Structure 1
Amino acid sequence: MRKWIAGVLLVIGALLMMTACSTGEGKEKGELKKVVLDYAYYSPTSLALKEFGWAEEAFKEQGIEVEWILSHGSNKALEFLNSKSVDFGSTAGAAALIAKSNGSPIESVYIYSKPEWTALVTTGDSDNTSVEQLKGKKVAATLGTDPYIFLLRSLQEVGLSSKDLEIVNLQHSDGANALLTGQVEAWAGLDPHMAKVEIDSGANLFLRDHEKNTYGTLNVRSDFAEQHPEAVETVIEVYEKARKWVIENPEEAADILAKEAEMQLEVAQKSLERNDFSDPIPGLMQIKALTAAGEVLQSENVIKGNVDISKIVNEMIVDRYSKAVIE
C-alpha cells in the first residue's frame, strides 16, 4: 500500500510540475517586454523611423520598450538575428536567402526599398572598364552581401567565376578604403559608401545593373513572429509611416542620412536617389529575383547543391503581415 501511495504521489507531483512548466511557458510566451530593431545607413526608412521615435510611440501604448542596434551590413544584421540580439534585421534579399539556406530561421516580411545600392567600382584613373578585365586581380567585397552576389552574377554572365580572381573579404567601408589606397583594383560597392567615393574621389561605377540588386528586406526571427504576430504588424505599420514620410520628404530624409552616417549632404542625396520606395509588400517580384540569385549562388557553391532554392525562397517571403496592415 505504501509503495502504491508513493507511486501515486510521484505521478501527481510530476503532473503538477508539468502544469507549472506549461503555465510558465505560456506566460513567458505571452509577455513581450522589449522589441529590438536594427537600423542601417543602407535603409533610409529605418533611419527616419529611429529619428522620429514612431516605434517607441506605438509600443509604449502596449508597455513595450524599443531598442535600436546599428547594422553595418547585411552580414551583421543576420549575425544579430541568429544570435537573437535583434528581433528585426535589415538586409539585402539575397543575403537573407543565403542565411535561410543555412538554416537561419528568418522570414522576410516587408520591403523597405528596391535599391540600386551596388555596382562594380574602380578608381577614376583605372584602366579597368569591364568585368572580363578583373580576371586575376584583387576585388574587395563583403561576403554574403548584395555587392558580393552582384559580383558573382556579373562574373558568371561573362563566363568567369570567383576562382578567376581574388576576392578580398572586407566590410563595405574598408572595401572603399582598400580601393582608394590601391590594395585592390576593384570593389563591389554599397551605398552610401559608394556614393561617397564617387563624389569625393571621382570613382568610376563601371558596371551597373539595377535588376541584379536584390530588394531591401526587413526580416524577423521566425520564433518571434510565431509568438508575437501582433508586434510584427505594429513594426510594419510604423515602417509604413516612415516609408511614406521618406517619399514625401526626400530632402529631409537625406539630411537624416547625412547626420547619422556623418557624411556630406550631397553623398546622402545621391545614395537616397538610388532607392525606389514604391512597393513595400513582399511577393512575386522578390520570389523571381531571389530565385535567380539563388541559382547563381548555388553554382558557386555558396549555397549547397542539395538545397531546394524555390522551396527556401517561398518559405522566406511572407506577405501576410504586410497585407494585414497595408492598404
Structure 2
Amino acid sequence: MLAAAAAFGLAAAGMAAGAESAEKVRITFTEGSAAVVVVTAMEKGFLRAEGLDVEPKPMRAGVEGIESVTQGVMDFGTVHIAPIIATAARKLPLKVVAVNSYGTQFVVVVPPADKASKTMADLKGKRIAVQRGTGAHAVWLRYIEHTGLSERDFKMKYIRNADIASALAGGEVEAGVPWYPFALSIVNKGLGRVLLSQDDIAKPLNDKYTFTLFTRASLVKENPALVQKVVNAWVKAQRWIIQNPGDAARLFHAFTTRRGQTLELKDAEFLMRINYFDQPVFNQAFLDDMMSNARIMKKMGWIKEIPDPKSVVDSSFALKAVQAK
C-alpha cells in the first residue's frame, strides 16, 4: 500500500514493516480538517500497531465515500452526519461506529464592500450561494429557521462549495455559505468578510456538526474484530491530537501541501482549534443533533422519512476502545 499512500499525500515512512502479514483495510475520507484523524492514525502508526495495512483514498465529496463503502469498494469512511442520514433514509445498511470529530465548520460571508449587513435578515431578497444538500446547508437552514426566516426569503444559488469564491468575486452572489478550509481562502484573498462565524451559527442551535467514522453493516456482523481494530486506532489518534495540537496542525498542513492545497500553517492551527476530538462515542447529544438535521432534511424534501438512529449507530466499538488503556 506504499504507492497508494504516496499517491494520496500520506507519508509512507515505516509503513512497510509487517505489511505482508497485516490485515488489509481500505479507508476513504473527505479532505477537510476532519481528515486529521485518519492522517494521524496512519502517519503516527496507530493503525499499523493494530496489525492493519491501510489503503487510503481521499475523496472530494462525502457522498462518493458513502457509495464506495456501500458498494464494497472501500471498507470504512469518514463523513458528516447529513449524508449518513440521507443514506439511512434510503435503507442502505451503513453503521456509524464512532465520532470522528465535531465542531461547526462553515460560516456566512459577504463581500468586503458590504459593510452594512450584520444578520441574515439584512440579506433578505439577496442572492446566496450554498452547496445544496450538504451538512453546511442543513445546519444553515436550521439557523435561519431559528431566526424566523426560510430559503424563500433569499434568492438561492446552488453551486459547489469550491465555486463560492469565484461567485463572490464575480458579483454573481451577495453572500455565501462556504465551509472550511475554502472559507479561509475567501477571507485571506479579500473576497469576503465573515458575517456569521461558526460559533454564531452553532451556539443557538447547540449544533455538533458531527463527522462520523462509518462502515457497512455487513462488515460489523462478519468481521467485528476488524471494526474494533480500526476504532481502537481512531481513539488513539484522537487522544494524540488532543495532547499534541500543534504537531497535529503541522501534520495536517503537510498533508494538504502534498495534496496540492495552499493552506497556511496558521490556518491549519485555527482548524485544529475549531475541531473537537474528545468524544468518540456517539452519545445522546450527537443523537439529538442527528435528529435535528434529519427533521430539516425531511422538511426540505431531501429524505422521505426520518431513519431510526438505533439502526444507524453502533457505539459498542467506541465504548470498548475508550475503556481500553
**Which has more radius of gyration?**
1
TM-score under structure 1 normalisation?
Answer: 0.80
Structure 1 residues 164 and 282 mapped into 2: Cα distance closer, same or farther (>3 Å)?
same
Structure 1 residues 136 and 102 mapped into 2: Cα distance closer, same or farther (>3 Å)?
farther
Residue 33 of structure 1: how far off its partner (Å): 5.8
Q: Percent identity?
A: 21
Q: Give the equivalent residue in structure 2 for 1:276.
A: 276
Cα RMSD over matched residues?
2.3
Tell me the alpha carbon deviations over residues 158-205 of structure 1, each in whole angstroms, 9 at most, x when there is no partner: 343334434433333223343344332222221222233333427333
**1:98 counterpart (86, 98, 107):** 86
Structure 2 residue 29 is matched with structure 1 residue 41? no
TM-score under structure 2 normalisation?
Answer: 0.80
Structure 2 residue 209 is matched with structure 1 residue 218? no
Contact 2:235 2:321 in 1 (8 A): no
Q: What amino acid does structure 2 have at the position aligned with 1:297?
A: M
Contact 1:73 1:171 in 2 (8 A): no
Structure 1 residues 171 and 68 mapped into 2: Cα distance closer, same or farther (>3 Å)?
farther
Q: Give the equivalent residue in structure 1 for 2:315.
A: 319
Alpha-carbon distance between aligned partners in 1 of 2:140 and 2:58, rounded to the nearest angstrom? 25
Alpha-carbon distance between aligned partners in 2 of 1:134 and 1:102, rounded to the nearest angstrom? 35
Alpha-carbon distance between aligned partners in 2 of 1:50 and 1:175, rounded to the nearest angstrom? 32
Contact 1:161 1:300 in 2 (8 A): no
Structure 1 residues 80 and 131 mapped into 2: Cα distance closer, same or farther (>3 Å)?
farther
Q: What amino acid does structure 1 have at the position aligned with 2:216?
A: R
Q: Give the equivalent residue in structure 2 for 1:241.
A: 236
Q: Give the equivalent residue in structure 2 for 1:75.
A: 63
Alpha-carbon distance between aligned partners in 1 of 2:208 and 2:222, rounded to the nearest angstrom? 32
Q: Which SS does the other structure have where 1:240 is aligned?
A: helix
Structure 1 unaligned spans of 5+: 1-31
Residue 285 of structure 1: how far off its partner (Å): 0.9
Alpha-carbon distance between aligned partners in 2 of 1:140 and 1:84, rounded to the nearest angstrom? 34
Q: Give the equivalent residue in structure 2 for 1:52.
A: 44
Q: Which SS does the other structure have where 1:276 is aligned?
A: coil
Q: Give the equivalent residue in structure 2 for 1:4.
A: none
Tell me the alpha carbon deviations over residues 3-61 of structure 1, each in whole angstroms, 9 at most, x when there is no partner: xxxxxxxxxxxxxxxxxxxxxxxxxxxxx96311123333121221232343234234x
Q: What amino acid does structure 1 have at the position aligned with 2:59?
A: S
Runs of 4+ with deviation above 4 angstroms: none
**2:126 counterpart (137, 143, 160):** 137
> Is the deviation greater in 69-78 or in 260-269?
69-78
Q: What amino acid does structure 2 have at the position aligned with 1:35?
A: V
Alpha-carbon distance between aligned partners in 1 of 2:147 and 2:81, rounded to the nearest angstrom? 24
Contact 1:120 1:186 in 2 (8 A): yes
Q: Give the equivalent residue in structure 2 for 1:174.
A: 163
> Is the deviation greater in 223-232 or in 39-48?
39-48
Q: Give the equivalent residue in structure 1 for 2:73.
A: 85
Alpha-carbon distance between aligned partners in 2 of 1:171 and 1:89, rounded to the nearest angstrom? 21
Structure 1 residues 170 and 36 mapped into 2: Cα distance closer, same or farther (>3 Å)?
farther
Q: Give the equivalent residue in structure 2 for 1:66.
A: 54
Q: Which SS does the other structure have where 2:102 is aligned?
A: strand
Q: What amino acid does structure 1 have at the position aligned with 2:33?
A: Y
More helix by share: 1
| Correspondence 1:189-208 to 2 at 5 A | 189-201=178-190, 203-207=192-196, 208=200
Contact 1:92 1:216 in 2 (8 A): yes
Structure 1 residues 282 and 169 mapped into 2: Cα distance closer, same or farther (>3 Å)?
same
Tell me the alpha carbon deviations over residues 131-152 of structure 1, each in whole angstroms, 9 at most, x when there is no partner: 2244443322223321111221
Contact 1:150 1:213 in 2 (8 A): no
**2:227 counterpart (209, 212, 232):** 232
